[in-house]
């Protein structure tokens, strides 16, 4: 789910931020004004960003790198699940699903798992059901997100198979990615390929 965004304007300045972040800032400001300063208390240390491809404690997987803001999706880190969730069909052969993109895997997955026809989308379903570190917002990555994984940390993916993306090529084909050489193709939706969930960590 995309975070609810709030826009603040003051004079010529505009700030756009997630509502949850604004609420945290507001609460911190109130406490700072009404509570006396604590003696000998050091500020909490900022958790360092792990190296690309390394586990990010509490985030459900590995640091897949920074993704810059695009459209209405704010800048975030791509968190790659620590493990694959098996091999699945893409599903929905013969149906050109509307509203899918090459960059936004979260929205793609929501469209696929929320489809009200009787067709199933096993690869997207497996990612949406995945949970780690208390996070239940994983999704099947879009073609561009898989490519970012290959650019940043191809070593965390298997080299002897291909991975499904949530990006559709046509009614019968969807995009996939091979991490041996960074090859992107499109295969029939009935093909059984490897699946790796990802999620977003907003900054």
* Mean per-residue pLDDT, 163-183: 96
Q: How many Cα atoms within 13 Å fall on the side-chain side of residue 14? A: 4
How far is 15 from 7, CA to CA, in rounded Å? Answer: 6
Please name which of 138, 125, 193, 186 lies closest in space to residue 164, comparing C-alpha atoms: 193
Please write the tens of the pLDDT for every residue from 41-81. Answer: 444 444 689 999 999 999 999 999 999 999 999 999 999 99
Residue 1 predicted with pLDDT over 60: no
Mean pLDDT for the chain?
Answer: 86
Query: Cβ of 51: how many Cβ atoms within 10 Å?
Result: 11
**DSSP states of 131-193 as a string?**
-BTTB---BPPPHHHHHHHHHH-GGGS-SSSEEEEEEE-SSSEEEEEETTTTEEEEEETTSEE
Cβ atoms 31, 120 nearer than 8 A: no
- Which of 4-13, 25-34, 144-153 has the highest average model confidence (pLDDT)? 144-153
* Mean per-residue pLDDT, 22-40: 51
Please write the tens of the pLDDT for every residue from 123-133. Answer: 999 999 999 99
């Amino acid at each position: 789910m995309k975070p609810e965004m709030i826009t603040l304007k003051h004079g010529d300045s505009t700030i756009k931020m997630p509502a949850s972040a604004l609420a945290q800032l507001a609460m911190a400001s109130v406490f700072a004004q009404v509570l006396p300063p604590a003696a000998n208390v050091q500020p909490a240390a900022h958790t360092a960003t792990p190296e690309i491809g390394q586990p990010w404690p509490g985030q459900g997987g590995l640091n897949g790198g920074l993704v810059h803001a695009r459209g209405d999706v704010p800048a975030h880190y791509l968190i790659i699940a620590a493990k694959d969730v098996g091999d699945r069909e893409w599903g929905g052969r013969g149906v050109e699903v509307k509203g899918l993109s090459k960059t936004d895997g979260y929205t793609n997955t929501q469209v696929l798992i929320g489809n009200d026809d009787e067709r199933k989308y096993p690869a997207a379903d497996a990612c949406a059901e995945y949970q780690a570190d208390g996070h239940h917002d994983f999704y099947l990555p879009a073609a561009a997100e898989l490519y970012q994984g290959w650019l940043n940390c191809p070593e965390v993916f298997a080299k002897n198979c291909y991975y499904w993306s949530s990006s559709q090529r046509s009614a019968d084909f969807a995009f996939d990615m091979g991490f041996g050489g960074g090859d992107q193709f499109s295969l029939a939706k009935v093909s059984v390929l490897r699946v790796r969930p990802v999620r977003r960590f907003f900054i």
